[in-house]
């Protein structure tokens, strides 16, 4: 802490630039260090972005996060390196007494998820997982409407992560094109997390099919999945995840209740509500005459809302706010993805581990 401000650092300067921007613009923070393995001279894109934040003289730059831990004192660190390094770097930073904001997916592995959870508990440091869909206005409103019963009792929910990874590269190399990085855990975790968050219950069992077509030449097993989840209180959920689609990116989601249905999306300025209760009146005339159209509800489009997460960290550390994106939430999403992946490989339903 310096002058009442938290000292912040960022590891990984791709998505990590959003964290750099959020810390720079937030009066609760002073950004004191950034780390990326990219040596000088930086590629033009990185060099320009770094320059635009005017970090010279105030922010140290490191090539190795371990050197950063030794060389600069800070309170909060964003781990925004490729997925494979999240566990190692988060654990090392927690052990060094830092609060951690970790990019999704928390890890690619259940044992690592458990190890981070154990480290968080032992060190008492704050750990937040970045699932920005929890800060997307349409999804926040959908969750609120489901929770207060606007669509009656929720019984079915579907979310999706529809992407084309042929257009998604990496700063240094395309690390997403790696056998260790299953697209359901790496990217589809957004949709799985959204499903868990809105249903607000623990998934008990997963069943999934996978196929590989759009990214046929990638060394991964599947690029596309349909996953089914059975939640403990009876809701059934479906996640469509594909990273090899010929269509624009979207996370279109539908929530079905006994008195209505919500259709929403992270890319659309409107969400839709149908509020026709079951059996509330006898059918007269044709089926179509008795169908009330969907109502459009305007919403802001705001994806990748890292600013809110950086603010939440400050509110937790400085003002005692509650952490609703903690290590258990991160681990449970990893676990729900891992169960579906196992099911797609074995052809059998798989129990979802939730005890982290
Ligand atoms: N929350 C979201 O919606 C969202 C969006 C995009 C990416 N991500 C996540 O952010 C992370 C980074 O993805 P990206 O798109 O920025 O990739 P990227 O390749 O654009 O950037 C990653 C950066 O990390 C650096 N790096 C690699 N290994 C490192 C190491 N060991 N230590 C420090 N730096 C290292 C690379 O040089 C690169 O500059 C991934 O975990 C990804 O899943 C999250």
Q: 281-291 pLDDT, tens per residue?
A: 555 555 555 55
Whether the predicted pLDDT of 40 surpasses 90: no
Distance CA 316, CA 100 (A): 12
Q: What is the mean pLDDT of residues 212-226?
A: 95
- Select from 81, 90, 92 the residue to mutate for testing ligand 1; criterion: most ligand atoms less than 8 Å from CB: 81
Q: Is 346 exposed, middle or buried (0-12, 13-18, 19+ CB in 10 A)?
A: exposed
The two tokens of residue 187 are: 């990217």
Tens-digit pLDDT profile for residues 94-120: 999 999 999 999 999 999 999 999 999
Contact predicate 269/262, CB 8 Å: no
- 242 CB less than 6 Å from ligand 1? no
CA distance 210 to 337: 12
pLDDT of residue 170: 60
Banded model confidence at residue 167, pLDDT cuts 50, 70, 90: confident
Distance (Å, whole) CA 131 – CA 195: 12
Q: What is the pTM of this model?
A: 0.94
Sign of torsion over alpha carbons 146, 149, 150, 151:
positive
Residue 49: band (very low, low, confident or very high) from pLDDT cuts 50, 70, 90:
confident
pLDDT of residue 218: 93
The residue among 278 and 104 whose pLDDT is bigger is 104
Proportion of the chain above pLDDT 90, given as a percent = 81
Q: What is the pLDDT of residue 278?
A: 55
Q: For a pocket test of ligand 1, which of 9, 10, 11, 14 has the largest count of ligand atoms closer than 8 A to its C-beta? A: 14
Estimate the crossing angle of helix 189-199 against helix 137-147, to 10 degrees.
30
- pLDDT confidence of residue 284: 54
* Residue 53: pLDDT band with limits 50, 70, 90: confident
pLDDT at residue 292 greater than cutoff 70:
no
Is it the case that residue 124 has pLDDT exceeding 70?
A: yes
Query: For residues 281 and 24, which has the higher predicted lDDT (pLDDT)?
Result: 24
Q: What pLDDT score was predicted for residue 347?
A: 98
Percent of the chain predicted with pLDDT > 70: 94
**What ranges make up the beta strands (E) of 26-114?**
29-35, 60-62, 76-79, 99-103
Q: Which numbered atom of ligand 1 lies nearest the CA of 132? A: 1
The closest residue, in CA terms, to atom 6 on ligand 1 is 15
- 277, pLDDT greater than 80: no
Q: How far, in Å, from the CA of 257 to the mean position of ligand 1?
A: 38
Confidence of residue 70 (pLDDT cuts 50, 70, 90): very high
With a 6 Å cutoff on the Cβ, whether 79 touches ligand 1 is: no
Bridge partners, residue 297, by sequence: 271
Q: What is the mean pLDDT of residues 238-259?
A: 95
* CA distance between the termini of the chain: 31
Q: Is the pLDDT of residue 263 over 70?
A: yes
Name residue, tokens 């359901």.
Answer: 184
Total count of residues recorded for the chain? 356
CA distance 332 to 169: 27
Q: What mean pLDDT is predicted for residues 207-226?
A: 96
Query: C-alpha angle with apex 21: 19 to 22, nearest 5 degrees?
Result: 65
Q: What is the arithmetic mean of pLDDT over 5-33?
A: 96
The answer, yes or no, to whether any atom of ligand 1 lies below 6 A from the CB of 85, is yes
């Amino acid at each position: 802490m310096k002058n009442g401000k938290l000292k912040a650092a960022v590891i990984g300067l791709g998505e990590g630039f959003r964290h750099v921007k959020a810390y720079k613009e937030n009066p609760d923070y002073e950004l004191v260090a950034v780390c990326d393995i990219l040596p000088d001279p930086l590629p033009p894109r990185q060099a320009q972005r770094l320059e635009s934040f005017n970090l010279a003289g105030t922010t140290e730059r490191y090539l190795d996060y371990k050197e950063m831990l030794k060389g600069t004192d800070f309170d909060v660190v964003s781990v925004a390196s490729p997925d494979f390094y999240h566990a190692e770097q988060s654990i090392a930073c927690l052990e060094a007494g830092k609060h951690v904001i970790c990019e999704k997916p928390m890890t690619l592995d259940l044992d690592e998820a458990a190890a981070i959870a154990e480290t968080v508990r032992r060190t008492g440091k704050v750990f937040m997982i970045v699932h920005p869909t929890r800060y997307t206005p349409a999804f926040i409103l959908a969750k609120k409407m489901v929770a207060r019963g606007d669509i009656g009792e929720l019984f079915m929910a579907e979310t999706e992560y529809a992407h084309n990874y042929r257009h998604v590269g990496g700063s240094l190399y395309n690390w997403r094109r790696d056998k260790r990085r299953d697209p359901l855990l790496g990217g589809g975790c957004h949709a799985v997390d959204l499903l868990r968050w809105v249903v607000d219950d623990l998934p008990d069992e997963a069943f999934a099919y996978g196929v590989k077509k759009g990214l046929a030449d990638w060394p991964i097993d599947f690029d596309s999945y349909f996953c089914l989840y059975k939640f403990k209180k009876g809701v059934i959920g479906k996640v469509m995840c594909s990273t090899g689609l010929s269509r624009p990116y979207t996370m279109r989601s539908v929530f079905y209740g006994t008195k209505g249905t919500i259709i929403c999306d992270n890319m659309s300025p409107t969400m839709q509500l149908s509020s026709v209760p079951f059996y509330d009146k006898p059918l007269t005339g044709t089926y179509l005459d008795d169908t009330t159209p969907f109502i459009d509800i305007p919403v802001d489009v705001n994806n990748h809302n890292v600013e809110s997460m950086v603010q939440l960290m400050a509110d937790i550390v400085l003002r005692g706010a509650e952490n609703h994106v903690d290590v258990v939430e991160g681990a449970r999403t990893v676990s729900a993805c891992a169960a579906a992946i196992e099911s797609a490989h074995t052809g059998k339903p798989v129990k979802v581990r939730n005890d982290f």
